[in-house]
Amino acid sequence: MQPIGASTHDSETTIDHSRRQFFRASGLSLASMALTSLLNAESSSPRRINPLSIQPAHHAPKAKRVIFLFMVGGPSQLDLFEHKPEISRREGEPLPDTFLEKAKFAQIQASKPKLLGTRWKFARHGKSGAEVSELLPHTAKIVDHITILRNLHGDETNHFFAELHMNTGMRQPGGAGMGAWATYGLGSMANDLPGFVVLNSVSRPRSKGAIYSNGFLPSAYQGVPLSPKGDPIVNLASPPGFSRPRQRRTIDAIKGLNEQRLAATGDPEIAARVSAYEMAFRLQLSAPELMDLKGESAETLSLYGVGDPKQPSFARDCLIARRLAERGTRFIQINHTDWDHHSHLIPGLTNNCRAIDQGSAALILDLKRRGLLDDTLVIWGGEMGRSSVAQITNKEQIGRDHHLSAFTMWMAGGGVKAGETIGSTEELGCFPVDSSDAVHVHDLQATILHLLGLDHELLTYRFQGRDFRLTDVYGEVFHKALA
């Protein structure tokens, strides 16, 4: 039995196409009979008809869906989740040479960069006693529902490429986003909405659509961005005077032509095109309904901190993410940018935390009370962390540079332990104390797929003569975080 994504509908289609052309040209009756049988079998395949049809998992899943709260730019773990009093005590001293020899900075040019302590108070919260900064008072209230991973690490100091690495497993454009891989491997449970939906509440990441692209996967698995204002999806509405019945007839006619071509060639992009037309037709009704929050109670809007339901905000996106989860969307990604605090750390971090804290916490609480948290995996974090040394020493301009060796993310629901803090760094917050607690970007990706019921080593796609996968040739499931 062939594993999911192992090759039955990727570039081998090109080989099948060549075989068909040969048999047609040869005029051999036996070949023609065999070809007819093959085409009939292929045309009846659920994935040929609908690329987003439900697919069997490799093993029993813990999570049915994922919500990724992506804090683009790199939140400062030392000011949010990992209190280091020793750094504050030694503020202004140069980073010791033993640390400097191993540290990687993106912009700091000083030969002896100086330690920078946090400007915020920390306290322990919940039964777990997790330490959280005063910048995140709402997150502090949900610590018993989440697992904090302190020792994430990556390979890329440049934001553009680090964003790609976190989301696609590749450090250059052209790869497929995690949501694309998830929908490719499992399909989607949503009939009237895309399987992979993206919300950009403030602005788009540096890498723009590259982090939620389908890459080399068929276009049916592309992340679909929803607009906070106007039409939820660009060019979705029909032109004036074009009735819905008339549009239905047009789509049916195009579908018939596409299906004839699909039967002749087996090209998966044609199946994706048919699916896209059908999805767009259904989205004309389902997308506006999704974005309209008038059916949400005043208590729910208050829980998320949504003031005006029509105004874009991260809180509103979190509420829409819950609505998408209820409707069966497989992978939901919310991108919140501007966490790159090389300077103006104090106002920048304060404003960002104020924007995302209540919505993030409310999402966990709302999913839990609706019975959705157990099978929804929620992830919060950025593509890197921030350094323990000051980049700019002016009191008003103070900031932190990039840090790759140990940064923090948290996870909740979907088979993850609750109320755990895993990993710690030494007293200056630069490197992990225990390497067994370290989680590489590829380990995180392998763990996400594992919780969805997918083996990251089996979920492959053949492209240009080689098998690709989200984790490239790396990655191990981080079992310490699993319930």
pLDDT digits (tens, 9 = 90+) for 167-199: 999 999 999 999 999 999 999 999 899 999 999
Q: Give the whole-angstrom CA distance, residue 184 versus residue 275.
A: 14
Q: Which of 328, 414, 423 is nearest to 145 (CA)?
A: 414
Counting as low any pLDDT under 50, the low residues of the chain are 1-17, 20, 22-43
Q: Which of 99, 64, 73, 85 is nearest to 401 (CA)?
A: 73
Give buried/exposed letters for 326-346 (b at 16+ CB in 10 A, else e). Answer: ebbbbbbbbbbbebbbbeebb
Report the pLDDT value the prediction gives residue 236, as an integer from 0 to 100: 64
pLDDT in tens, 260-282: 887 888 787 777 777 666 666 57
What does the domain layout of the chain look like in residue ranges? 49-240+268-481
Report the pLDDT value the prediction gives residue 99, as an integer from 0 to 100: 92
pLDDT in tens, 117-173: 999 999 999 999 999 999 999 999 999 999 999 999 999 999 999 999 999 999 999
SS3 content of the chain, % helix, strand, coil (to 5): 40, 15, 45
Report the pLDDT value the prediction gives residue 32, as an integer from 0 to 100: 41
The encoded tokens of residue 23 equal 């048999």
Please provide the average confidence, as pLDDT, over all residues in the chain: 87
Report the pLDDT value the prediction gives residue 346, as an integer from 0 to 100: 95
Q: What is the DSSP letter of 395?
A: T
Q: What residues does 203 pair with on adjacent strands?
A: none
| 43-49 contacts, C-beta under 8 A, 24 or more apart | 43/259, 43/262, 43/263, 47/9, 47/187, 47/271, 48/9, 48/262, 48/266, 48/271, 49/271, 49/274
Contact assessment for residue 175 and residue 161, using Cβ atoms and an 8 Å cutoff:
no
Question: Which one is the CATH code of 49-240+268-481: 3.30.300.30, 3.20.20.70, 3.40.720.10, 4.10.780.10?
Answer: 3.40.720.10
